[in-house]
Chain A
Amino acid sequence: MLPIAALVSASRQGGAHGFWQAITEPEAIAALKLTIGASIVVALLNAVLGTITAWVLVRDDFWGKSAVNAIIDLPFALPTIVAGLTLLALYGTRSPVGIDVAYTRAAVVLALLFVTLPFVVRTVQPVLEELDTEMEAAAASLGASEFTIFRKIVLPNILPGILSGVALALAKAVGEFGSLVIITGNLPFKTEVSSVYIFGRLESGDSAGAAAIAVVLLVISFALLLSIGAIRHYATRYDRA
C-alpha cells in the first residue's frame, strides 16, 4: 500500500497543472489511446474466441482434449518476455510462415492476445460445465433453432462469466509490458503503449511524468477490479437471497 501512496504523491509533485501537462503530452496521449484501443480490440476478440474455446473444451470431445485444456494456462506460466520473443520468432521479420507484423500495431494486438488468452476461457468454462443441458434440449424440442437456443438460453447464463473474463483481460492488457518490449519496437506515436512510455519517462529521469501516467493506469485497474466485483455480485444475486 505504501508504494501506491508514494506513487500518487509523486504524481502531484508538479501540482494539478504539472499532472495535467504530463498526461496531455502528445506522446503520452498517443500511447494511452493505443493502449486502450488495442486492449478493447483484444478484449472483444477474447470474448468471442475465448467463449468458443471454452465451449469446445466443455461440450466437444476429441482426442487430446485434456492436453489442449492444459496448454490454455501457458500464458500464465510463461514469462512475458519469452512470450514476446516466441511471437516474434513466428510472426517477425524472419517469419517462416510469411507473416511479418514486427514493429506494427498488429504486433501489439497479437502480444496482448497471447497474454490474455486464458482469462475468458477460464471464467466461462466452469459456468458451462454446470449449465444443465436439459433447458437446451427443451428449447430444441419446442422448435428453437441452434442460434436462438444460444442467444436465449446459453448466453444469458454465461454472460457474467464472459464479462468478468473480459474485464480481467482488459486489466491485464492495459498494463502489459514484458511481451510488448521486443515485438513492437516501442516506436513513439506508433507502437508505444503506456507502460512502455512510463518506462521511457523514468529512464530519462522524469519520474513525476512517469508517475502521472502510472496513476492513470492505476485508476483504470482499480475501476476494472471494482467492476469485476460488481459483475460477480450481480451474477450471484439469486444465490444470496
Chain B
Amino acid sequence: MRRYSLRGVALVYLASILVGPLLIVFWRTFQHGVGPAWDALSAPDTIHAFKLTLIITAIAVPLNTAFGILCALTVVRRDFPGKGVLNAFVDLPLALSPVVVGLALFLLYGRAGWFGPWMTRHGIQFLFALPAMVAATIFVSLPFVAREVVPTLREIGDEQEQAARTLGAGSWQTFWRITLPSIRAAVMYGVILTTARCLGEYGAVAVVSGRIQGVTETATLRVQERYESFDLAGAYAISMVLALVAVLVLLTTNLLKPKEVA
C-alpha cells in the first residue's frame, strides 16, 4: 500500500511539473495545424535567431571541450597549491546566476569597463555583438565536460599512461593513444550537455547581447520577444523546436550512459 502511494506521489509530481506543461505547449503549437507554426518558424528574424544560436554553439562547444579536458587532466593528474580553488572556480558557473555572469562581462568590456576603452580605440565591437555572446555562452557552459571527465580519469588511473611513457611515447602520443580513447564516452556525454546548455542559454546572453532583433537575437531571446509582442503562436513554435532538441539530448545521453557503466 505504502509503495503504491509513494509511487503515486512521485508520478503525479513529475507529471504535473514536467510532462504536463510540455504536452500543453505541444498541443497549443499545433492546435491550428502545422501551417501557423511553420509560418512562425520561417519568419526571417526567427531563422536568423536560430542561425545565430547555432554559430555561437559551434564556437563555444569545441573550445569548452578542449578546455574541459585540459582542466580535468590538470585537476586529476597534477598536484599544485590552489588546486581546490581551481576546482571551486570550475564549478562556479553552475551555481552562479546567468544574469550575474552577463553583468560581469558587461562591466569588464563595457564603455567604462577595464577593457572597454581599449577595445573602442581599436575598433573592436565586443559588447552587443557576437564576441560577447560567445564569451557569455562559454562561461555558463564551462563546467560540463570537466565534470564528466574528472571521475572517469580518476577511475582509470594512470598505470596505462605510465606504461606508454616507459615504452617511449611522448606526452602528446600518450594522450591521443591512451588517455583520450578511455575517456571518450565521458567526453561525449559532457559535449552533449554543453551543447544543450549553449543552445538554451538565456540570462547571460540577454544581458550582453542588447537583444537587437535580427542582429543579436538568439533563439531563446526570440521566444521572449515573440511572447512580449503577443505572438503566442510564434513563441510556442520556437519553444517547440528548442524542446525537441532538449528531448533529443535526453535520448542521446541515455543511450550513452549504459556504455559508461559497462
Contact = CB atoms under 8 A, between A and B. Distances in A.
Do A and B interact? yes
Contacts of A73: 250, 253
Could you say which interface size class chain B belongs to? Answer: 35 or more
Contacts of A6: 104, 107-108, 113-114
Interface stretch (B54-62, B168-176, B194-202): B194-202
Interface string A87-110: 101110000100000000000001
B103 A210 contact: yes
Contacts of A214: 97, 99-100, 103-104
Contacts of B24: 86, 89-90, 96
Contacts, number: 213
Given A70-B254, A71-B18, A78-B246, A89 B28 contact: yes
A37 to B, nearest CB: 17
Given A71-B14, A86-B243, A221 B251 contact: no
A124 B20 CA distance: 25
A82 B220 contact: yes
A175 B100 contact: yes
Interface in B73-121: 84, 88-89, 91-92, 94-101, 103-108, 110, 112-114
Interface stretch (A20-28, A47-55, A154-162): A47-55
B249 A182 contact: no
A177 B95 contact: no
B207 A52 contact: no
Given A52-B9, A198-B99, A3 B139 contact: yes
B95 A221 contact: yes
A2 B32 CA distance: 50
A234 B97 CA distance: 27
Main secondary structure of the interface of A (DSSP, over half): helix
Interface residues of A, number: 72
A90 B139 CA distance: 32
A225 B92 CA distance: 8
Contact of B251 (A1, A70, A87, A117): A70
B22 interface: yes
Contacts of B113: 6, 10
Contacts of B2: 146
Interface of B: 2-3, 6-7, 9-11, 13-14, 17-22, 24-25, 28, 84, 88-89, 91-92, 94-101, 103-108, 110, 112-114, 139, 193, 196, 199-203, 206-207, 219-220, 223-224, 227, 235-236, 239, 242-243, 246-247, 249-251, 253-254
Given A177-B99, A207-B110, 10 more contacts: A56-B10, A59-B3, A62-B7, A68-B11, A77-B247, A80-B200, A82-B200, A85-B25, A117-B17, A174-B97
8 A-B pairs with the lowest CB-CB distances in the bound complex, closest first: A175-B97, A79-B200, A3-B104, A86-B21, A178-B202, A177-B203, A171-B95, A77-B246
